[in-house]
Structure 1
Amino acid sequence: MPAHKPADHPAVSPYLLVADARATLAFLAATFGALELFRKVREDGSIMHAEVRIEDSLLMIGERPERAAALCGSTHVYVPDVDACHARGLASGAECISPPADQPYGDRTAGLRDAEGNLWWIGTHLGG
């Protein structure tokens, strides 16, 4: 086992800096079934650092400093059912930027924009 990282962490993990980590964590749980693994809260109650697992992947989240500019990310997530995941995302307050559609490269994909402005590209591989 490599000593340079925790055993249950991949070598690369997206890290989102958001204004409202609690809302982002709720969105990830409702949309992707994200399981919260860790949360470090500052004295003022803001979330300094949180980690969630979505299937075999880890996503890190922290609340950006009050005066820091918004940073938006773009993340792709393979899911078992794009249509159901897209619907859960919409029900969680996300905006549709691309409705579910079959693609010529063998995936069914869709796109969501969360309340923080992050883009979530979701896909289910159809084979081929």
Structure 2
Amino acid sequence: MSPDTTQHPPTVWPAFQAHDPRAVVDFLVALGFEETACYSDDAGVIQHAQLDWPEGGGVMLGTHKPEGPFTQQPGTTAAYIVTADIEAAAERVRNLGHDATIVEQDYGSREVTVRDAEGNQWTFGTYAGEPRAGKS
């Protein structure tokens, strides 16, 4: 059997919480994410939001609920977002008023990193991962 060198659709999504999820959603939209879903309760508190990355995958987030069954301290998430157009990603970061130095990594990726107002780290890069080895 020959190795399977195809890329597989993303099925792992970072999920996190925020003190001000609307601000994080707006920040990510300005960086190129698409707001696919946003569910709020009667008080307007965002319970769940889904943001899709146009090139595949996405993130989910909601309001920080320290008493909830799924709790994540705001500002502790880091995500790597694959993009074919690192220059456009860097320009979007600059448009938000952040430094956007593109770093050349030893493994061939070109990357730019920015933090949102809560401290989460967002790295946009060209490294799409290695192809999976085939199964026997």
TM-score range, shorter chain: 0.7 to 0.9
1:41 offset after TM fit, Å?
0.3
How far is 1:71 from its partner? 4.2
Q: Which has the higher contact order (CA 8 A, sep 6+)?
A: 2
Give the Cα separation in 2 of the matches to 1:34 and 1:70.
19
Matches within 5 A, 1:26-105: 26-31=26-31, 33-54=32-53, 55-65=55-65, 69-92=73-96, 95-96=98-99, 99-105=101-107
For normalisation by structure 1, the TM-score amounts to: 0.75
**Match for residue 118 of structure 1?**
120
Contact 1:18 1:64 in 2 (8 A): yes
Looking at CA atoms only, which structure, 1 or 2, has the larger radius of gyration? Answer: 2
Deviation of residue 88 (structure 1)?
1.1
Closer/same/farther in 2, CA of residues 101 and 11 from structure 1, 3 Å limit: closer
1:6: which partner in 2? none
Between Structure 1 and Structure 2, how many residues are aligned?
Answer: 114
Aligned-CA RMSD value: 2.5
Identity of aligned residues (%): 31
Structure 2 match to 1:16:
16
Structure 1 unmatched runs, 5+: 1-8
- In structure 2, stretches of 5+ residues that fail to align are 1-8, 128-136
Which whole-Å CA distance do the structure 2 matches of 1:24 and 1:10 have between them?
22
